[in-house]
Structure 1
Amino acid sequence: MTRAFNLPDEGLFVGRVWSPEADGPVVVRLDGADVIDITSRHLPTMQSLLEQPDVAQTAHRAQGSRLCRLEDLAANAVEEPRPGEPRLLAPCDLQAVKACGVTFVSSMLERVIEEKAKGDPRKAEGIRERCSSILGDSLRSVVPGSEKALALKAALIADGVWSQYLEVGIGMDAEVFSKAQPMSSVGSGAAVGLHPVSSWNNPEPEVVLAVSPTGVIVGATLGNDVNLRDVEGRSALLLGKAKDNNAACSIGPFIRLFDATYSLDQVRNAKLDLTVTGPDGYVLKGSSSMSEISRDPADLVAQAMGRHHQYPDGMMLFLGTLFAPTDDRDVPGEGFTHKLGDVVEIHSDDLGTLSNTVRLSTEAPEWTFGTSALMRNLARRNLI
């Protein structure tokens, strides 16, 4: 690891940067220590790049000009970036931002606990012990939708512990929901927002797939699918309120495109490391291993996109997480929850580091640059 954002030395990385000179977003490729602006009438957006028949070759061959040094871009990836200098954005633009939930056994059990606790963290430990005593490790070897899974489902219903989260965890259908609106995700260095009604929440370190309009997985990046455990725990019908808030979705730092050095097999075996550093000196470390996912990433893409549902601008798909913090931070029995000012770092050796500072969604910068603003900006720059 020798480069800014803890990126590996090899790999083809693309992203988006706000250019003061263009007064708008540009599509960039990393060339060693340099950030190259490859925006053109042929490639005005990240969406236009990711829909190409051969994305890696197109990105590699695209002509461009040096925008800045990578280390300078990293130095300006902060909550209050210096005006007049390029600043990093989330690497997606027009794509739908979707997410899969309950794709790992341990996180599935934590969702069951949230539901049974009705969003009250004080009840979580007792419910966790009961669920663990009933289920044990019986779910780890179950293939979702298989005959064994359906038999286990019947047994759990008979024991009175069935849950809607177990339904999507071991049933036929994966949980796929809308995480954020196109253009609303924040990038590395920005504030990530918690809805002010929440008092029980945590980060969710995840791999995010970049998917073309035809359903081809063309690359991957990192994401924080911020989780409001109390809000979703009160009712699954509050999922939209729990997930889609100002600055509640971070993606980045860059998309690593699939090429000779990186493929879906590396995604399937990726290990993500999480560090939360509190303003009070508190440190939480965790990890998520993609090798323990219950559903294959390609299957999740197929469940989200196909003849039943098209995404003509492509899709960014969060794959879920193994991480579910249970260690007490303050009050015994109440587990972990964020404090304002926490710095969340999600790292993968293949994808670099995504870093964000936790704020309230009402205190994070408002989302004002949407799709219509992008279209006007590109038209003014004669790119469309």
Structure 2
Amino acid sequence: MRYYQLAGQGHVRRFVVETDEGVFDLTSAHPGLTGFGELAHAASVAGASMVELTRRQIDSADTVPRGALVEDRLLPLVPEEVWAAGVTYEISEEARKSESSMAEVYIDVYDADRPEIFFKATPSRTVGPEEAVGVRRDSDWNVPEPELAVVLYRGEIVGYTVGNDVSSRAIEGRNPLYLPQAKIYDRCCSIGPCVVPAESIADPHDLRMSMEIARDGETLFSESTSTAEMVRTDEELVHYFTSHNAVPELAVLMTGTSLVPPQDFTLTEGDVVSIDIEGIGTLVNPVVEV
């Protein structure tokens, strides 16, 4: 199953689910099912899984043309907060060491018991599929960071989506204390194109992930990896995110990147970033300066 948020007439949004049998408008089956957060809440109250609850609604739901999943899709959920983890792959550690004047900081994080967990974005700074992600004008080295993103309801893993933790490496490289400015700004984050319930992902630590960056129709970067390369588990990262922290009801936690463009590459306005994760889908975003 894959859950999408689609644009409807006026300001109405449709919450739909894609299955092997078709695409179904869950909002038409029950007016309270207007988004992923509402589905997670209803499943919690009913003591059922989201998949079970979804299947109960499908028979009375209107069908939706599959083409709408591309033409009308929006941000698949609106998390109250987006957080992220850093230096969870060896290549990420190497990249941070090469960019920073304080390389030992990243070595210590990679090997430490406690992971790096940082605040990434508010809803107003988060964009969905086909929307433009931003790169800062005051940075001359900006990169996308493709990541498996965990969807949390009341601190529990309920789903997965694709995330892009766009970062200003020039700013972070000058001093690690500049991390918030390198990470948090207008259009700094994208998620989508859908949410897959946790029970539909057999092993989130063994998913193929790939990224392609195109400019003027030419592919400038194309590589793939596996989440099996991550040195920490999703559960470990969630533990540190939720511990001693009043987490919001609906949140997203990105789990780190292992696809790093070469040091002589920087995103520019007009580039297109495509990130694909096995079993979830492809998140595509153009780039704009902010």
Distance 1:178 1:26, change over 3 A: farther
Q: Measure, in 1, the Cα distance between the counterparts of 2:124 and 2:34.
A: 15
Deviation at 1:18, TM superposition (A): 2.6
Separation in 1 of the partners of 2:13 and 2:231?
A: 37
For 2:241 and 2:136, how far apart are their aligned partners in 1? 27
Partner of 2:198: 258
1:57 correspondence with 2:45: no
Does the Cα contact within 8 Å between 1:50 and 1:211 map onto a contact in 2? no
- Indicate if the aligned counterparts of 1:277 and 1:344 stay in contact, CA closer than 8 A: yes
- Aligned position for 2:66: 70
Aligned to 2:226: 289
Amino acid at match of 2:246: Q
Q: In structure 2, what is the Cα distance between the partners aligned to 1:168 and 1:25?
A: 42
Task: Quote the offset at 1:41 in angstroms.
Answer: 5.0
2-structure distance, mates of 1:35, 1:235: 49
With over 3 angstroms needed to count, the CA separation of the structure-2 counterparts of 1:112 and 1:343, relative to structure 1, is: same
Q: Please name the residue that 1:205 is paired with.
A: 146
How many pairs align? 282
The residue correspondences of 1:342-361 to structure 2 (distance < 5 A) are 342-361=271-290
Pick from 22, 26, 29: which aligns with 2:14?
26
2:264 maps to 1:335: yes
Preserved CA contact (<8 Å) 1:272 1:346: yes
TM-score by length of 2: 0.89
Q: 1:41–1:282: structure 2 CA closer, same or farther, 3 Å change rule?
A: closer
Gapped regions of structure 2 (runs ≥ 5): none
The residue number in structure 1 matching 2:123 is: 182
The 1:290/1:115 distance shift into structure 2, 3 A limit, reads: same
Q: TM-score, length-normalised on structure 1? A: 0.68
Given candidates 172, 188, 195, the residue that maps to 1:232 is: 172
| Percent identity of paired positions between Structure 1 and Structure 2 | 29
Q: State the 1:275 CA deviation.
A: 0.8
Instruction: Return the offset for 1:182.
Output: 2.9
Measured after TM superposition, the shift of residue 288 of structure 1 is 2.9
The answer as to 2:267 corresponding to 1:323 is: no
Residues 96 and 313 of structure 1 are in contact (CA less than 8 Å); yes or no, is this contact kept in structure 2?
no
Q: Distance in 2 between matches of 1:69 and 1:292?
A: 37
Question: What letter is aligned with 2:138?
Answer: V
Q: CA deviation at 1:250?
A: 0.9
Which string of whole-angstrom CA distances, capped at 9 and with x for unpartnered residues, describes residues 172-195 of structure 1?
211111111035421111111111
| Contact 2:96/2:106 (8 A) holds in 1 | yes
**Counterpart residue number, 1:303:** 240
CA contact (8 A) 1:222 1:253 kept: yes
Residues in 2 aligned to 1:18 and 1:236: alpha-carbon distance in whole angstroms: 40
**107, 117, 136: which is aligned to 1:195?**
136
Mapped to 1, the partners of 2:123 and 2:256 lie a distance apart of 19
Per the alignment, residue 170 of structure 1 pairs with: 111
5 Å-filtered alignment, 1:102-113, equals: 102-113=87-98
| Structure richer in strand, relative to its length | 2
Find the aligned partners of 1:211 and 1:183 in 2 and give their Cα distance.
Answer: 19
Q: Which moved more, 1:107-116 or 1:62-71?
A: 62-71
DSSP 3-state at the match of 1:245: coil
Contact 1:35/1:70, CA 8 A, preserved across alignment: no
**Which residue identity lines up with residue 290 of structure 1 in the other structure?**
T
* Residue-by-residue CA offset, 1:318-351 (whole Å, 9 max, x unaligned): 000111222xxxxxxx521112211111112311
Q: Is the 8 A contact 2:131 2:285 kept in 1?
A: yes
- The correspondence of residues 140-179 of structure 1 with structure 2, limited to 5 A, is 163-179=104-120
Closer/same/farther in 2, CA of residues 268 and 49 from structure 1, 3 Å limit: same
Greater CA drift, 39-48 or 94-103: 39-48
RMSD: 2.1
> Would the aligned equivalents of 2:269 and 2:287 in 1 still touch at CA under 8 Å?
yes
* Amino acid of the structure 1 residue aligned with 2:37: Q
In structure 1, the gaps of 5 or more residues are 1-11, 77-86, 117-160, 327-333, 362-384
SS across alignment from 2:15: strand
Q: CA deviation at 1:257?
A: 0.7
Which amino acid is 2:94 matched to?
A: L
User: What is the CA-CA distance between 1:293 and the residue it aligns to?
Assistant: 0.7
Answer with 216-225 or 62-71: which moved more: 62-71
8 Å Cα contact 1:200-1:229 kept in structure 2: yes
Q: Confirm or deny: 8 A CA contact 1:211 1:217 kept in the other structure.
A: yes
Which range moved further: 233-242 or 218-227? Answer: 233-242
Query: Quick check: 1:47 aligned with 2:32?
Result: no
